Structure formats: structure tokens, C-alpha cells
């Protein structure tokens, strides 16, 4: 036997002898109290599991208190508080619109009641108004709906993937004008936790726990009388498997809320996977997050078209590691025919990043006031890029129409600004919505400052300088909530590169370091045609800023607040690291998000 084997055998023998002696010494001795540090981590002595009742942790968010097992058996993400706050705000305004048409006023917690003077000029006798819902209504007094109470003519809400039921319970406690809330999950343990949390928050009269596959549940509610007014889908990953039944189970004009957390797919890392889930090819670009929103909207509209339905976007948000869209679903064969003209392919240059859109369909007028639908003509680009000579990549189809309803966004912004204490993330909601109201609604996608400057290897101009140059050249320009350095403009790529050539003359690039075939060399070899472009000046053009006059001034965030809110330029999507827009909350509150 070799020396190494002998040493190993002696070592093992000594370990066995020590273990045997220790076991004999412990026999008959009383065991001490358990280690508190070990017990706090959910285990007892010798790794025993503690009773499940002791492991629960109470988490408070909004007006809800939720019991979570420390073993994290049901997923909970505190970063999504902004998502849940925004959803409560959106559903509240949606309920205000829907119930307002029925003569019902909603009472939002913390919102000041608007005093209205009603003058009755009729000489007829006042009719007796029967009290509804246990309320003693005076003659002529409108019916009201408060949060936490059942409204017989209110909204029916479905949360298809409820997990702990936090979102559903917050709806029941914070959103007025609800008839019922169905908190569904396929997991039996999750449904047990939902029942426990429903009892904990005393909302059993509103929230109905349900254990079923979300697709089966929505397919069972496709009849017009059984559809839901609001459907919320917030899965862990892609919502693609649930979209087909969701567009069928939502009522006419109902609200569909969808979250997508598979940003690696939507940002262009796996185009074939994106096509299999959403029916579109995603491109790697600096505008990948807005393109992700438009791909999701395209997928929703495409699935709704199969059932003679179409979607109308209310609000589309790119935040943190996910995208979130709020759309209304309507039925109409004539409107469905126009859906092809709302989608577009994207031709993007691999060298300079210039992009062009190609609509799939075209609408034109016909005799008799009719509308004629036909295929669009294209492509809008040559085989090689006119600016740098590189080839183009083809992406899409994607939604090419506006992704926000600015009137609806303005209503949410006014409500949140008037009641800032309602949500923990009110300041962030206000900041994001303020940027959205400034976005150009009819300009898909955007460029970024670092993208433009890195292409020609020059110093980066300030955002104010580039915006001033575009405005002096006669184009519109705005920011984007998806990126801090975004430049959303209706200027063609040729105008952008002319402005960058003018900027490069003030900060010359050493041409001898550029390759003859590089995009920078080819772009800089041409003289600018827009000689009047004022790139060097910091003076903005008065009266040319893109704003919306229908929003009160006090509800919009200032320019400095917008700059502090927006994220820096997102990293290349090939790194699989979705950027996160920072909150404008105070430092103490920001850590909770």
C-alpha cells in the first residue's frame, strides 16, 4: 500500500473515532435551547423545519396586508410596487369613465370631493329616488361608489395569475366602483394563501379566490354576459400563452392589462423566439424598449383580429425590467380591416442605425365616402444604406400607431397629482406620465445621443444643443420615457446626419484614423446640406417645444425633474441586462422599490 493511501486511511479512521466519541459523550446530556439565529432562518435544531404558522411574514403595500411564507413558495417582487400602483391608478380612471356614463360617481380614498352647484330650472315635482346599495340618497343626488364596497353596476375584474393575491386585494381596498374581483391561480398552495390573505384584509365580499388554469378560466367566460370588464395578466416571463383567450374574455370596450418580463427576448437577443411568441422579429437597437412595447401591441391586435376585435392603446410603459401595456378591446369588422395599415416593418441599417418604417397596408378614399384597403408599396430603402453604404436588417411587424391615449394619460396625471399620498410611488408615476405627455405621439422609435456620436467617433453634443438644431431646421423633437438620451423626432435620417456633420466641424475627427469603408468615413465625407442648423447654440427656439395644452401646468414635471427621472442610455441588449429607470422618490423610499 502506498504512503498516500495509508495517510488517507488513517485520516478517515481518526474522523470516525472522533465522531463516535462525540456521540457517546452527548448521550444522556440535556439539549440546550435552540439557536435563535437558526430559528429566524426557518429551521430548528438539526435542520428541522419550523411550523409553517411561525414562518409567515406580513408585508404591507398600499392598503393591503399580505402574509407571505418565508420559504418564498409564492413569488413576490417588491420592485413591482410601481407596477401595482400604476395599475390601481389606471383602473380607477377607467372605472370613473365607465361608471360616469351610468351616472355613478366614484369616491377615491384621499381625493377631495368636488363641490358642484346644481341649479334646477324645472317646475316639476321632484321624483322620489330609491336608495341603492343601502345608501340614503336625497332626491337628485347621484349614486356614489366607494372603495371596499360592492357596486352592483361596477366592474368585474380578473387577475389571471394572482400568486399571493396582493394585486386583487389592493384592487378591492383601493379602487372604487368594483362589482367583484376574481383572484385566480393554478397552484393550490397559492390559492390557500389567497384565501388567508382575503380573510386577513376583510375583503371576502369582493374577492373570489379561484383555482384554475387561466386559459381555461378565460375561455369559460367568452359569452358576452360573462366577460370581465378588466383582465390583468402579470406572469413571470411571457404572457403569450394567455393572450388569445384574454382578448376573447374581456368585455366590449373593456380594459386589458398585460406585463411582459421577458425583455431579453423582446430586446432582440433571440429574434426567432420573439417571433414564435409574439409573431414579430425584434432588432437589437438603442430603441429596443419602445420596439418591445410596439411588438406586444402588435401581438395583441393580431390575436384580437382573429375574432373581429381590435385594440386601442391607453398607456404603454417601459420600466425597470419589464414592459406594461393597457389597452381597450372593441369589436368591429370595419375597424379590423384597417389593422394592417397600423402595422409596420422596420428597416434598420447595421452600420449607422438609421431606420425606416414600411406599413403593411394602405388606406385610401373611394367614391361614396368609402375607404379602400390595399397592400402598401415598398421598400422605402435601397439595398444599401444611402448614408454609410451598409446593409439593412428587417424587423417587425410592430404597432406603428400612437401607443398612448394622451387624454386618458392626462386624467391619470391630474388624479395622481391631486392626491399624492395615495400611492407610495406617486412621484415616480407623475414623472413618467409627464414625460409621456411630452412624447411625439405619431413618431415611432427614436435615436440616442451616444448612438449618433459613437457612429462618427465624435464628442457627444448636449441634448439641448441637438434639440435646438432640429427645431431650427423646422422639425419636431421630444424626449422618450424609455431612455434619458432619446431623441424622438420626425426629421429624416439625412437631416440628423447633416446636423451631426455640422457638430463634427466644431469638434473635428481625425480622418486618418477612420477606415475607408467605415460608416463614420462615408458619413463625414459628404458635406452637410442643412447649413443653417444651429448645433453649437444652447438657446432653444421659443414656442416650438412639443407640449400638450390640455394638461394643467402644475401636473407636469419640470424639465429638470424629467432629466432626473429618465434612465441613461440602455446597454446593448446582447448583454441580457435590461436597464432600470431610477425613481425620483427620496433616498429612503427608493430602496423599497
DSSP letter at 281 equals B
Of 512, 503, 429, the closest CA to residue 468 belongs to 503
pLDDT of residue 292: 97
Residues 341 and 353: beta-carbon distance below 8 Å: no
Bridge partners of 315, per DSSP, are 326
**pTM to 2 decimals?**
0.80
SS3 assignment, position 100: helix
Q: Contacts by 571-576 with C-beta closer than 8 Å and gap 24+? A: 572/284, 573/264, 573/267, 573/268, 573/269, 573/284, 573/288, 574/269, 574/284, 576/264, 576/269
- Residue of 310, 362, 306 whose CA lies nearest to 334: 310
Distance CA 185, CA 191 (A): 6
User: Any idea which residue has 415611432 for its cell?
Assistant: 444
Q: What whole-number distance in Å separates Cα of residue 347 and Cα of residue 356?
A: 5
Q: How far is CA 113 from CA 15, 174, 591, in A?
A: 77, 16, 33
Cell of 127: 321624483
Write out the chain's pLDDT in tens, 593 residues.
Answer: 455 555 555 555 555 545 444 444 344 444 444 443 333 333 343 444 444 444 678 889 999 999 887 655 556 788 899 999 999 999 999 999 999 999 999 999 888 764 433 344 444 444 444 444 444 455 556 789 999 999 999 999 999 999 999 999 999 999 999 999 999 999 999 999 999 999 999 999 999 999 999 999 999 999 999 999 999 999 988 999 999 999 999 999 999 999 999 999 999 999 999 999 999 999 999 999 999 999 999 999 999 999 999 999 999 999 999 999 999 999 999 899 999 999 999 999 999 999 999 999 998 887 877 888 889 898 999 999 999 999 999 999 999 999 999 999 999 999 999 999 999 999 999 999 999 999 999 999 999 999 999 999 999 999 999 999 999 999 999 999 999 899 999 999 999 999 999 999 888 888 888 888 899 999 999 888 765 455 655 554 444 445 443 444 444 444 444 444 444 444 433 333 333 333 333 333 333 32
pLDDT at 447: 96
Q: CA nearest 244: which of 262, 230, 226, 256?
A: 256
Using DSSP's 3-state secondary structure scheme, residue 328 falls into: strand
**pLDDT value of position 68:** 81
| Model pLDDT, residue 78 | 84
Report how far residue 288's alpha carbon sits from residue 353's, in angstroms, rounded to the nearest whole number. Answer: 12
Q: What pLDDT shows up at residue 302?
A: 97
Cβ-contact 397, 305 below 8 angstroms: no
CA distance linking residue 280 with residue 264, whole number of Å? 14
DSSP codes joined into one string, 25-86: HHTTPPP-PPPHHHHHTTB-GGGPBPPHHHHEEEEEETTEEEEEETT--S---GGGHHHHHH
Give the pLDDT score at 578: 36
Pick the closest to residue 201 from 62, 92, 77, 86 (CA basis). Answer: 62
pLDDT score of 31: 42
Say what the pLDDT of residue 530 is: 64
pLDDT the model gives residue 58? 87
Name the nearest CA neighbour of 178 among 205, 196, 198. Answer: 205
CA dist 530 and 496 (Å) reads 10
Give the torsion through C-alpha atoms of 41, 43, 49, 51, to 10 deg: -60
Query: How many CA within 13 A on the CB side of residue 587?
Result: 0
Q: What are the φ and ψ backbone dihedral angles of 147, each rounded to 5 degrees? A: -70, 140
User: Per the omega criterion (within 30 degrees of 0), is the bond before 379 cis?
Assistant: yes
Q: In this structure, are residues 394 and 386 in contact, taking their beta carbons and an 8 Å threshold?
A: no
C-alpha distances in Å from residue 365, one per residue of 148, 368, 369, 371:
51, 9, 7, 5
- Strands of 332-436, DSSP E: 343-349, 355-359, 361-366, 370-375, 392-399
Do the beta carbons of residue 593 and residue 82 sit within 8 Å? yes
Cα separations (Å) of 304 from 246, 279, 342? 9, 13, 14
How far is residue 146's CA from residue 166's CA, in Å, rounded to a whole number?
20
Domains assigned to the chain: 445-545 (3.30.56.70)
Those residues whose C-beta lies under 8 Å from the C-beta of residue 61, and which sit 6 or more positions away, are 78, 81, 84, 166, 170, 424
pLDDT at 9: 53
pLDDT of residue 175: 96
Amino acid at each position: 500500500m502506498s504512503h498516500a493511501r495509508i495517510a488517507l486511511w488513517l485520516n478517515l479512521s481518526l474522523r470516525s473515532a472522533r465522531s463516535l466519541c462525540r456521540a457517546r459523550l452527548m448521550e444522556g446530556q440535556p439539549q440546550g435551547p435552540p439557536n435563535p439565529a437558526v430559528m429566524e432562518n426557518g429551521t430548528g435544531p438539526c435542520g428541522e423545519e419550523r411550523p409553517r404558522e411561525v414562518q409567515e411574514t406580513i408585508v404591507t403595500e398600499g392598503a393591503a396586508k399580505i402574509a407571505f411564507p418565508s420559504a418564498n413558495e409564492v413569488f413576490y417582487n417588491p420592485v413591482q410596487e410601481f407596477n401595482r400602483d400604476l395599475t390601481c391608478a389606471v383602473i380607477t380612471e377607467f372605472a370613473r369613465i365607465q361608471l360616469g356614463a351610468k351616472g355613478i360617481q366614484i369616491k377615491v380614498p384621499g381625493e377631495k370631493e368636488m363641490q358642484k352647484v346644481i341649479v334646477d330650472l324645472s317646475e316639476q315635482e321632484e321624483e322620489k329616488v330609491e336608495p341603492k346599495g343601502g345608501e340614503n340618497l336625497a332626491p337628485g343626488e347621484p349614486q356614489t361608489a366607494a372603495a371596499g364596497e360592492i357596486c352592483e353596476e361596477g366592474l368585474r375584474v380578473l387577475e389571471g395569475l394572482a400568486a399571493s393575491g396582493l394585486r386583487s386585494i389592493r384592487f378591492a381596498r383601493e379602487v372604487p366602483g368594483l362589482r367583484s374581483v376574481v383572484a385566480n391561480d393554478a397552484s393550490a398552495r397559492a390559492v390557500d394563501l389567497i384565501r388567508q390573505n382575503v380573510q386577513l384584509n376583510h375583503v371576502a365580499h369582493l374577492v373570489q379566490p379561484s383555482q384554475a388554469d387561466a386559459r381555461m378560466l378565460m375561455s369559460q367566460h367568452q359569452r358576452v354576459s360573462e366577460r370581465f370588464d378588466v383582465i390583468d395578466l402579470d406572469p413571470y416571463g411571457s404572457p403569450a400563452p394567455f393572450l388569445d383567450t384574454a382578448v376573447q374574455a374581456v368585455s366590449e370596450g373593456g380594459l386589458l392589462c398585460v406585463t411582459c418580463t421577458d425583455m431579453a427576448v423582446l430586446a432582440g437577443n433571440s429574434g426567432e423566439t420573439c417571433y414564435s411568441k409574439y409573431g414579430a422579429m425584434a432588432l437589437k437597437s438603442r430603441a429596443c424598449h419602445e420596439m418591445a412595447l410596439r411588438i406586444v401591441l402588435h401581438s395583441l391586435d393580431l390575436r384580437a383580429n382573429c375574432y373581429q376585435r381590435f385594440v386601442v392603446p391607453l398607456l404603454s410603459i417601459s420600466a425597470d425590467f419589464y414592459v406594461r401595456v393597457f389597452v381597450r378591446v372593441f369589436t368591429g369588422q370595419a375597424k379590423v380591416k384597417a389593422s394592417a395599415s397600423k402595422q409596420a416593418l422596420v428597416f434598420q441599417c447595421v452600420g449607422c442605425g438609421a431606420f425606416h418604417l414600411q406599413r403593411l397596408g394602405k388606406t385610401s378614399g373611394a367614391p361614396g365616402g368609402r375607404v379602400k384597403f390595399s397592400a402598401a408599396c415598398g421598400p422605402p430603402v435601397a439595398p444599401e444604406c444611402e448614408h454609410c453604404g451598409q446593409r439593412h436588417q428587417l424587423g417587425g411587424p410592430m404597432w406603428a400607431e400612437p401607443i398612448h391615449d394622451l387624454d386618458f394619460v392626462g386624467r391619470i396625471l391630474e388624479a395622481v397629482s391631486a392626491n399624492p399620498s395615495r400611492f407610495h410611488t406617486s412621484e415616480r408615476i407623475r414623472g413618467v406620465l409627464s414625460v409621456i405627455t411630452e412624447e411625439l405621439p405619431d413618431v415611432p422609435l427614436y435615436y440616442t445621443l451616444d448612438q449618433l456620436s459613437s457612429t462618427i467617433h465624435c464628442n457627444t453634443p448636449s441634448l439641448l444643443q441637438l434639440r435646438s438644431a432640429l427645431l431650427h431646421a423646422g422639425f419636431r423633437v421630444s424626449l422618450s420615457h424609455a431612455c434619458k438620451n432619446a431623441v424622438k423626432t420626425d426629421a429624416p435620417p439625412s437631416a440628423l446626419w447633416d446636423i451631426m456633420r455640422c457638430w463634427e466641424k466644431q469638434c473635428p475627427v481625425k480622418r486618418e484614423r477612420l477606415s475607408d469603408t467605415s460608416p463614420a468615413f462615408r458619413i463625414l465625407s459628404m458635406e452637410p446640406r442643412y447649413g443653417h442648423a444651429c448645433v453649437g447654440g444652447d438657446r432653444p427656439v421659443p414656442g416650438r417645444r412639443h407640449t400638450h395644452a390640455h394638461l394643467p401646468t402644475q401636473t407636469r414635471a419640470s424639465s429638470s425633474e424629467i432629466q432626473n427621472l429618465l434612465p441613461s442610455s440602455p446597454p446593448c441588449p446582447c448583454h441580457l441586462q435590461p436597464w432600470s429607470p431610477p425613481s425620483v422618490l427620496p433616498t429612503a423610499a427608493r430602496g423599497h422599490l
